[in-house]
Amino acid sequence: MTNRLARYIGDGRVEIVEEPMPVCPPGGLLVQTEACGLCSGELMSWYMDQKLPHVLGHEVAGIVRESQDERFPVGSRVFPHHHAPCMICELCRRGRYVHCPKWKRTKLRPGGMAEWFSVDAENLSDTHITDDLRAIDAALIEPLACVMKSVRLAQIEPGDRIAVIGLGVMGLMHLAAAAAHQPIGYDFNEARRTWANTQGFRAAAPEDAQPADVVFVCPGSQAAFDFALTLIQPGGAVVLFAPLGPGEHLAVPQSTYFKELRILHSYSAGPPDTAQAIAAIRKGELRAEQVISEFIPLADLPSAYGEMKAGRILKPMVIF
């Protein structure tokens, strides 16, 4: 029996290949995939090319078919985070989970964008049963957890005005996560603004932007950061959610000093953010249909990868 999966082969290209079936690792799980989203980070060729060879997929949900841990019985539906910290090192004790050596080395095998994958025992500290969730919603837990961390770092206070720059899928998730503060999202792309508004979010053109106390910058670009600085009010926070490309250096003007701005970076997420994301999805605060534009079979992923990379579609999710 073979395992069909999506492998990134370099230079922005993806192929569907067949490889041997994974086995259940000692103390771990063998999972049959139900749904897996394509992460926007997997579109960055400069980042992906250094990971070769690489199987796509970490926004994933599936059914346990073999288990060596009684907490996750066969037949249960699960969301496994592809990274899991040790929770005991100095970095973990300080809440800096994504810098834990164990977090960095753990992963799903061969990856989530496959018919089958295994979950090592080390990953089970941030694996959750999701029997009560649709697979397409459970597959959003990881990206939403990243957004929950971003919102937490911003330390939003009552009355703060919130802006989100960029209305790709992560921008939409920021609007959902900060919904209690009535955030406004900005994007030059009219189609993305229309999508956001039809999904119950607030979106406007950049020329109609309003002052803000917290700005989430979702595109990794100097231009997006510069736009944030035109909105942010004295004492406010600018949260950078994505990196700039290789060789690029963020230019921070001296005016940020005199405005006493907090410039923050938010990378990935830890177990508390995962738990918060699961709770939000269980409460119906985010549904897959709000952020997924294409539900597709695995065979269609190579073309959908190119379409998302070119900005012609919002986000695909593979249904297995």
Does residue 277 lie within any of the structural domains?
A: no
Query: Do 157 and 109 fall into the same domain?
Result: no
- Residue 298's φ and ψ, nearest 5 degrees, are -55, -35
**What pLDDT shows up at residue 296?**
98
Q: Are residues 111 and 205 in the same domain?
A: no
Q: What is the pLDDT of residue 12?
A: 87
Tell me if 280 is assigned to some domain.
no
Per residue in 155-167, pLDDT (tens digit) is: 999 999 999 999 9
Q: What's the domain count of the chain?
A: 2
Task: Tell me the C-alpha distance between 68 and 163, whole Å.
Answer: 46
Say if residue 177 is in the same domain as residue 123: no
**Which residue range(s) make up the domain with 160?**
145-265
248 shares a domain with 136: no
pTM of the model: 0.96
Residues (pLDDT < 70) of the chain are none
- Within a domain: 299: yes
Asked whether residue 21 is domain-assigned, the answer is yes
The pLDDT assigned to 96 comes to: 98
Looking at residue 93, what is its pLDDT?
A: 97
How far apart CA 299 and CA 185 sit, in angstroms, is 33
Give the span between the Cα atoms of 30 and 119, in whole angstroms. Answer: 6
| 272 domain residue, yes or no | no
- Give the pLDDT of residue 278: 98
Q: Do 110 and 158 have their domain in common?
A: no
Q: Flag whether 178 is in a domain.
A: yes
153 and 111 share a domain? no
CATH of the domain at 88: 3.90.180.10
Specify whether 303 is located in the same domain as 230: no
> pLDDT value at position 282?
98
